[in-house]
Structure 1
Amino acid sequence: MDVHALHDGWTLRPLAGEVPPEITAEIAAAGPLPATVPGSVHTDLLAAGLVPDPYVADHEAGLRWLHRTSWEYRTRLDLGAAPGERVDLQFDGLDTVATVSLGDRVLGRTANMHRSYRFDVTDLAPGGDLVVRFDSALEHAEATEKDLGARPRAYEHPYNAVRKMACSFGWDWGPDLQTAGTWRPVTVQRWRTARLAQVRTRTELTGTTGRVLVDVTVERSGLEDPAPLTVRVGARDLTASVELDAGTTSASVVLDVPDAPVWWPRGYGEQHLLDVEVELRAAGAVLDGRRLRTGFRTVRLEETPDEFGTGTTLVVNDVPVFARGVNWIPRDHLLTRLDADRYATALDDAVDAHCNLVRVWGGGIWESDDFHRLCDERGLLVWHDVPLACAAYAEEDPLRGELEAEVRENVSRLAHHPAIVVWSGGNENLQGHEDWGWKEQLGSATWGEGYYRDLFPSLLAELDPGRPYQPGSPSSPDGLHPNDPDHGTHHEWDVWNRLDWTAYRDRVPRFCAEWGFQAPPTFATIAEFLPADQRSSTSPVFLAHQKALDGNGKLDRGMAPHTGVPTGFDDWVWAAQLNQARAVSCGVEHHRSWWPRTAGSVYWQLDDCWPVTSWAVVDGAGRRKPAFHALRRAFAPRVVCVAPREGTAQLVLVNDTGQEWRTRVRVRRTDVAGSVLAETSVDVAVPARSVHLEPLPLRGARDEPVVVDADGLRALHVEAPDKDLAWDPAPWTTATTTVEGGFAVRVTAHALARDVTLTADAALPDAVVDDGLVTLLPGESHTFQVRTAGRDGTGLAAQLRCANGFGTRG
């Protein structure tokens, strides 16, 4: 098969809608715009300098006219099929409502960005103008909603009436930009006799023997007499094949692999992967082929009822795994700007935070091949929602047919990835039906339950029977509330919405699949989108980048009991960031302290898709917020912390390694300046993959910190909030030196310094600091390593911040 990318020579012009006159005039004068494929209208207009960056200032609002415009992409396609040659045009992704024409013929109409489309153009030689018209997805959704009846949803636009990325229409952390364009590759494919129309590969592991199961669907060209075919599967020096007679279009091939290399999640073993080659042959010649990497492992969800309710524990290769996870949204709202390198950087953030699981959230996309390949290689387990979120969905056509088609295509595309361990029916749709007033609005109308309880599990039983399925996130066994913390998976949002973060400790969920606390992005990212005259937490531009309902009010109410609410903007940002970090530590440590009763903590969220105040620990520019360091410390394989339990402070040691942990724990009670008032030590042995708790051996007054150290790990416990403590507000001296690749900033404390953090990006926007939230006792030092291309490090030390500044002497 000859495959040629059709990415050059495209142009773009508007067809309908309220296009600003300056853009119309520019195109009238200069002709259609050069267009990039893959790409989108937004990225093409940005490249042409015709619209401002929607991520900066309040420009997002000024681009709402794009919601109701139509656009034409055009290129010249020269065809010429040799005798017996079939020519196809393949679109891997069209976003979203498109009409594809070649010359005078309409090849097809589409309304689903989550599918690919293929057109036979053999008889259209010599070719002509290839035109893709994109109409308003919003108007299409409104028309579909009118036909099928309105269904409840969490946001303004009827995103639940069109198969497009839900968050394209805006979310409580994302912009409302509603992209359009050819968002995945376009190719011309020339072939003879037959091709592999679909290859679905799965693996099984029994004892030490691995099994590769390959199901293929073959399309014959129709241009010659059907011929016998052979499907051959090879891996290492092993092969297996099956013959297809002239009337057969599908086959299954099984390849057994003795002494199979086992794939493990990170922290549990190596990520052994196997290269597999699938070939379609006729008369000894290779007609078509696929190459992929897969792995052998077993996975199940342990959901046996117990005295606490019904657990949800991932068991990989017969080993129970505590899910140290993060929720994943698309890393960039303008999806076509994502490439393998950006995915790798983002997933390395998860790796550096000691995560072993990433949940692909249901308001985004079926994630890319690059994403899943990188997760396989890094040992990051993947929990993947079907792209349905926070809405009721009609179960009638055309939506039902579109959903079935996309599930079939994407599950088949992704089934070979060992990292994927759970398919889920979607995000918060079951809970929404119970809690958000939908029942009264719906009456007898369908709302999606048939997808979650019937269609999806039936399709998965056919396509990918070895992988666990959940009807949604959250979900509980039949007959129970879907968000019951004692059963199944749980989303914890009461804390952010109405409680102090210490209330995370009030529930013991079996598997907490979503929970989080907000903070603004880093200082450098704020500077990139916020004009100098808008540097206020209440300025219109800053609030345009705060999408959560009463978001700043919740931030202020969250800070008030701990740091107070500073009046200066920089102090307010730092206080909010510190409070988010404390919330992250509290939640993760609480969940981990209850293992194995609690079997997962999946933080919302890892990343952002643009610069915004949100729950992310890595902001929209890819910079790590202080909460990232809290997450990394709390998700470390071994953790020391102090947690209240049954009215008393407990010393907690978490050992999520495969070896016993023997350590001597040093416990010191100090005054607020860090002078030691009492000291003791405890010898502890923590078995592999387990948790040790015992009463904290030293207790002090509310304003007396207790410092706990073990094997280089430190925890500080103090009952009084920072705002009520007489911290030394300037507890250090500093020294900055130039090192290869950047600078080293050494901090030496002369008084207790809590949560010392170097916000180096405020001085050098490209700066990356290796650590944060470090607590020092008098006489101790810590060196922050700063990686930067900047040559002037004189201002770095001025960007040191800590909790002390919020005390009564701050």
Structure 2
Amino acid sequence: MFVEYRLAIPSTPVELKILFRNALHESRKLEQKNGGFYCSNGESSRVHVRKAQYHYGWDWGPLLLTCGPWRPVRVEEDLVELANLKIDYQFEAGQVELKFEADILNNDDFEMVFRDTKVQVIVNDGNTSYECMTAVEQSGVNAVGTIYIENPKLWWPINHGNQFLYDVQANLIENNRIISQCKRKLGIRKTQLVQTKLEKGKTFYFEINDTPIFINGCNWIPSHSFHSDTTKAHYQEWIKLIKDANFNLIRVWGGGIWEPDWFYELCDYHGILIWHDFMFACAMYPAYDSFLNNVKLEVKQQLTRLQKFTSIIIYAGNNEDYQIAEQLGKVKFPAQIIYEKILPRMVDEIIGDKAAYHWGCPYSPSDVGDIHQWNVWHGTQEKYQDWDKLIGRFILEFGMLAFANHQTLQEYITKLQYPQLQMMDLHNKAVGFERRLALYVMENVKVDTMDLENWIYLTQLIQSIGKENGKIMNVVGVLFGKSMIVIQ
């Protein structure tokens, strides 16, 4: 699901067929062949397939295993293509050095004769253009060039400065004629995950352009079970909601998908930072050869695509897989080779120092680094009033559930009668949903009546108060954690 395939089409008439095997049957076959591995959401066979893991069901969504193309299928007829324009940059004494690489690809059936062939790269800030020209001698190699910009205009997160993006255009020129072209935006910024050793643990915060940034963020799960139904307009609306909530970071959660380009483009444009998990979540994953080869291909393609986006400041190896391993005790943890060897090496090779890498989300020891704080609602079900004691230096998940409003419920439940309706419970996948919610409501407010509309209001009231107490946890986390950053 996460890999793009390119196939040569013969010149004779051809019919293209795409055969999709049943994902559930295939994952179960792989599990039979390669062994079972524990997971905490969905069925265990999901870990063997590189498919969106939430399709197998999660505590927030249904089991809906999709099938078919979910990204555009296209025919390309360019004989020669300029591809994978990569820009690396380094700051040096008041200027920035831009280094360009681009692949020259040609159709297998077409022999290109390289005579007077060049790659031209133009960087434009709206007033000034910067240019370099590189001769090309053969296909299948990188064209490399360098540009220097004095006093570059920097890209900043929202509310810290402008989100300046340079226009970049690369042209493949043969005999003074452009035969292939690619365009992209370029944001220039410094980023660093600061982990300075303390008496207990390390700091955990980000600096952008040498400035510590206070993070107020949210988690991003997939927007749809059938993702091909979403459009750029949907994403524009959702990013606006995030801006209106005064968030400055989105965490792309590891049980979902590698998002479409327009998601990252919108974050670049609006100055929304991104914490990006790799697509592994809540499980013990295998590490047999064919699985690792699939993962390496996926990661190479996705990082090559994402290296052009300015907003991504950190990649994390997985969502809660180390937590699963810790809970299981002394068990084999095959995927450690992925999180601790393969992924950091590939991030370093493709992304370089433009984003940090963290083995997992979370990975730090409890209360001294990044944590998921689910001991309110999940876990030990502490009182939300005690959130100020359940602190960490960078809190990536916490929350409180509530009923959706009456109008929303009416859209999918035909006979709304009372809160304990079985159909209501079936639409919430969280373990112990009704009992947990009743615990927090009954402990904190006077319940005069159990009619549905009153119960909806009370659950939402507790959710809002609980979240407000969570903000206190964030402030305490900053004060006692000696950190500039905590994420809500």
Alignment partner for residue 385 of structure 1, among 277, 284, 296? 277
Say whether 1:338 aligns with 2:338: no
Alignment partner for residue 427 of structure 1, among 310, 314, 319? 319
Note the C-alpha offset of 1:198. Answer: 2.7
Q: Structure 2: how far apart are the matches of 1:368 and 1:177?
A: 21
Q: Structure 2: how far apart are the matches of 1:254 and 1:543?
A: 60
Paired AA for residue 200 in structure 1: K
Q: Structure 2: how far apart are the matches of 1:337 and 1:438?
A: 41
Q: Identity percentage over the alignment?
A: 27
Say whether 1:583 aligns with 2:466: yes
Say whether 1:142 aligns with 2:28: yes
Q: Structure 2: how far apart are the matches of 1:181 and 1:202?
A: 36
Paired AA for residue 490 in structure 1: I
Per-residue displacement from partner, 1:614-647 (whole Å, max 9, x unpaired)? xxxxxxxxxxxxxxxxxxxxxxxxxxxxxxxxxx
| 1:537 alignment partner in structure 2 | 419
What SS does the aligned partner of 2:102 have?
strand
| 2:81 alignment partner in structure 1 | 195
Instruction: Verify the 8 A CA contact 2:157 2:272 in the aligned structure 1.
Output: yes
User: Given the superposition, is the C-alpha separation of residues 225 and 297 from structure 1 closer, same or farther in structure 2, using an over 3 Å criterion?
Assistant: closer
Instruction: Verify the 8 A CA contact 1:233 1:279 in the aligned structure 2.
Output: yes
Note the C-alpha offset of 1:354. Answer: 0.5
Per-residue displacement from partner, 1:133-191 (whole Å, max 9, x unpaired)? 21111111111122221111112422111000010111000111111111111111112
| 2:3 alignment partner in structure 1 | 115
Instruction: Verify the 8 A CA contact 2:273 2:312 in the aligned structure 1.
Output: yes
Q: How do 1:765-784 and structure 2 match up within 5 A?
A: none
| 1:349 alignment partner in structure 2 | 241
User: Given the superposition, is the C-alpha separation of residues 185 and 293 from structure 1 closer, same or farther in structure 2, using an over 3 Å criterion?
Assistant: same
Which shifted more, 361-370 or 275-284?
275-284
Paired AA for residue 164 in structure 1: K
Q: Structure 1: how far apart are the matches of 2:295 and 2:23?
A: 17
Alignment partner for residue 397 of structure 1, among 289, 292, 297? 289
Alignment partner for residue 371 of structure 2, among 478, 490, 505? 490
| 1:177 alignment partner in structure 2 | 64
Q: Structure 1: how far apart are the matches of 2:205 and 2:419?
A: 41
What SS does the aligned partner of 1:571 have?
helix
Q: Structure 2: how far apart are the matches of 1:363 and 1:426?
A: 8
Instruction: Verify the 8 A CA contact 2:393 2:486 in the aligned structure 1.
Output: no
Instruction: Verify the 8 A CA contact 1:588 1:601 in the aligned structure 2.
Output: no
When the two chains are superposed, the root-mean-square deviation of aligned CA atoms in Å is: 1.8
Note the C-alpha offset of 1:130. Answer: 1.9
Q: Structure 2: how far apart are the matches of 1:213 and 1:404?
A: 25
Alignment partner for residue 164 of structure 2, among 268, 272, 282? 272
Note the C-alpha offset of 1:207. Answer: 5.4
Note the C-alpha offset of 1:292. Answer: 0.9
| 1:245 alignment partner in structure 2 | 137
Q: Structure 1: how far apart are the matches of 2:383 and 2:404?
A: 21
Alignment partner for residue 341 of structure 2, among 450, 454, 463? 454
User: Given the superposition, is the C-alpha separation of residues 206 and 560 from structure 1 closer, same or farther in structure 2, using an over 3 Å criterion?
Assistant: farther
Per-residue displacement from partner, 1:276-320 (whole Å, max 9, x unpaired)? 112222232222221111211100011011134212101101111
| 1:89 alignment partner in structure 2 | none
Counting matched residue pairs gives 475
Instruction: Verify the 8 A CA contact 1:376 1:419 in the aligned structure 2.
Output: yes
Q: Normalised by the size of structure 2, how large is the TM-score?
A: 0.93
Higher strand residue share: 1
Q: Structure 1: how far apart are the matches of 2:140 and 2:259?
A: 32
Instruction: Verify the 8 A CA contact 1:205 1:296 in the aligned structure 2.
Output: no
Q: Structure 2: how far apart are the matches of 1:388 and 1:214?
A: 32
Instruction: Verify the 8 A CA contact 2:3 2:297 in the aligned structure 1.
Output: yes
Per-residue displacement from partner, 1:731-781 (whole Å, max 9, x unpaired)? xxxxxxxxxxxxxxxxxxxxxxxxxxxxxxxxxxxxxxxxxxxxxxxxxxx
Gaps of 5+ in 2: none
Q: How do 1:587-606 and structure 2 match up within 5 A?
A: 587-595=470-478, 597-603=482-488
Instruction: Verify the 8 A CA contact 1:515 1:602 in the aligned structure 2.
Output: no
Paired AA for residue 381 in structure 1: L
User: Given the superposition, is the C-alpha separation of residues 522 and 200 from structure 1 closer, same or farther in structure 2, using an over 3 Å criterion?
Assistant: farther
Q: Structure 2: how far apart are the matches of 1:294 and 1:438?
A: 45
Alignment partner for residue 326 of structure 1, among 204, 218, 237? 218
Per-residue displacement from partner, 1:708-747 (whole Å, max 9, x unpaired)? xxxxxxxxxxxxxxxxxxxxxxxxxxxxxxxxxxxxxxxx
Per-residue displacement from partner, 1:561-603 (whole Å, max 9, x unpaired)? 2114551111111111111111111111321244362444434
What SS does the aligned partner of 1:190 have?
coil
Note the C-alpha offset of 1:264. Answer: 0.6
Say whether 1:546 aligns with 2:428: yes
Paired AA for residue 165 in structure 2: L
What SS does the aligned partner of 2:463 have?
helix
Q: Structure 1: how far apart are the matches of 2:446 and 2:104?
A: 66
| 2:445 alignment partner in structure 1 | 563
Gaps of 5+ in 1: 1-112, 604-810
Say whether 1:219 aligns with 2:79: no
What SS does the aligned partner of 1:496 have?
coil
| 2:150 alignment partner in structure 1 | 258
Alignment partner for residue 520 of structure 1, among 400, 403, 421? 403
Instruction: Verify the 8 A CA contact 1:203 1:416 in the aligned structure 2.
Output: no
User: Given the superposition, is the C-alpha separation of residues 231 and 146 from structure 1 closer, same or farther in structure 2, using an over 3 Å criterion?
Assistant: farther
What SS does the aligned partner of 1:215 have?
strand
Q: How do 1:52-67 and structure 2 match up within 5 A?
A: none
Paired AA for residue 249 in structure 1: V
Q: Structure 1: how far apart are the matches of 2:251 and 2:140?
A: 39
Per-residue displacement from partner, 1:649-705 (whole Å, max 9, x unpaired)? xxxxxxxxxxxxxxxxxxxxxxxxxxxxxxxxxxxxxxxxxxxxxxxxxxxxxxxxx
| 1:46 alignment partner in structure 2 | none
Instruction: Verify the 8 A CA contact 1:311 1:511 in the aligned structure 2.
Output: no
Instruction: Verify the 8 A CA contact 2:119 2:134 in the aligned structure 1.
Output: yes
Q: Structure 2: how far apart are the matches of 1:272 and 1:344?
A: 19
What SS does the aligned partner of 1:485 have?
coil
Say whether 1:299 aligns with 2:299: no
Per-residue displacement from partner, 1:357-380 (whole Å, max 9, x unpaired)? 000000011111110010011111
Larger Rg: 1
Instruction: Verify the 8 A CA contact 2:85 2:100 in the aligned structure 1.
Output: yes
Paired AA for residue 569 in structure 1: L
| 1:506 alignment partner in structure 2 | 389
What SS does the aligned partner of 2:287 have?
coil
